[in-house]
Structure 1
């Protein structure tokens, strides 16, 4: 799907996609978004850069998809949308960082390791996934956005979580199914809990 270049085009596409999701929910009682429209909408709202409409969509998304893991670019857009509202979405940024550990270094122009790609078959987590970055999203990231991301990313709390995550992933590679593996997986999911969440 091509991302529009004008605010009017962005709003029209947003309205069409949201109408489609609402119609599906009315007909079936729930939303089956196998096409990932809920993620694509984050791209559109980020590029549109309208805090009020973005906040409304985020509240809707959190209500409809409360346990959604998200995907790297969607999480990045969500994080920066909230940051531009003058808030500190540290937990969202941490989730973004762990969703694909190559993403933030690439945004900051830093080298990344490909070693972790051996650990997962999930496309979102591979370095090659970043090659599919929506050009319009990358172009909408400002220098101030990058400076803020870089400051947080290099800070001790973020680096501590990142290193522990890498340690866990390395251990999971050789840890068989059982109690120890379950503990590691649980810890991995809870790593971002140390950061304060933002509620709109």
Structure 2
């Protein structure tokens, strides 16, 4: 990356922070309907500024505690945590990323995503999502992360939880009984909070 490209990315981050600060001053809170708050993680990854990225995600979590984020944003957050040496937090964020879109980790690893009927908005967007996802295990700077992720996904605990989570989502796609649905949604929520 050239110094000019680095400067451009740093300017984008600064502009986003400035725009968000202006919203807070103007409205007394954040009205980020444009979704600017999700962009800096990508820029921090491109810069290789993992410490800065983790600092940003800490601010994000404090400022938007109820914001669940988008799958690619959560994925970037996972990579930033891993690259900063925060492996326990990265493991937790990888699980959260999986729960937000059950295809994303396989897409990154180059595994064929097999669509399954499930109760999840990403099921509809799976094909277009995988075509647009900008990360791949083939990227040199993500080789160490890729190896770590493969090891995480192959643990018995992750596989067991993953299978149960998908089974719940599949059952929710067809379950009509409200009490059963409530039970399944509660169990899914508990699994999402697993790590």
Q: Is the 8 A contact 2:23 2:29 kept in 1?
A: yes
Partner of 2:67: 68
Q: Is the 8 A contact 1:100 1:124 kept in 2?
A: no
Structure 2 residue 102 is matched with structure 1 residue 101: yes
Partner of 1:8: 7
Q: Is the 8 A contact 1:46 1:77 kept in 2?
A: yes
What secondary structure is seen at the aligned counterpart in 1 of 2:25? helix
Higher relative contact order (CA 8 A, sep 6+): 1
Post-superposition offset of 1:70: 1.1
Partner of 1:192: 192
Partner of 2:178: 178
What secondary structure is seen at the aligned counterpart in 1 of 2:193? helix
Post-superposition offset of 1:124: 8.2
What stretches of structure 1 of length at least 5 have no aligned partner?
A: 196-200
TM-score by length of 1: 0.84
Post-superposition offset of 1:151: 0.9
CA deviation vs aligned residue, 1:93-114 (integer Å, no higher than 9, x gap): 0011122111111221212211
Aligned counterparts of 1:26 and 1:54: Cα–Cα separation in 2:
24
Aligned counterparts of 1:86 and 1:158: Cα–Cα separation in 2:
20
RMSD over aligned Cα, in angstroms? 2.5
Aligned counterparts of 1:60 and 1:152: Cα–Cα separation in 2:
27
Structure 2 residue 80 is matched with structure 1 residue 81: yes
Aligned counterparts of 1:128 and 1:141: Cα–Cα separation in 2:
25
Aligned counterparts of 1:99 and 1:36: Cα–Cα separation in 2:
17
Q: Is the 8 A contact 1:71 1:124 kept in 2?
A: no
Post-superposition offset of 1:190: 2.0
Structure 2 residue 85 is matched with structure 1 residue 48: no
- Residues 1:165 and 1:189: Cα distance change in structure 2 (over 3 Å): same
CA deviation vs aligned residue, 1:97-140 (integer Å, no higher than 9, x gap): 12211111122121221124x6444578634212222369x857
Post-superposition offset of 1:74: 0.6
What stretches of structure 2 of length at least 5 have no aligned partner?
A: none
Partner of 2:162: 162
Aligned counterparts of 2:91 and 2:167: Cα–Cα separation in 1:
21
Partner of 1:90: 91
Q: Relative to structure 2, which stretch is displaced further, 18-27 or 39-48? A: 39-48
* Residues paired across the two proteins, number: 191
Partner of 1:198: none
Post-superposition offset of 1:177: 5.6
Q: Is the 8 A contact 2:53 2:80 kept in 1?
A: yes
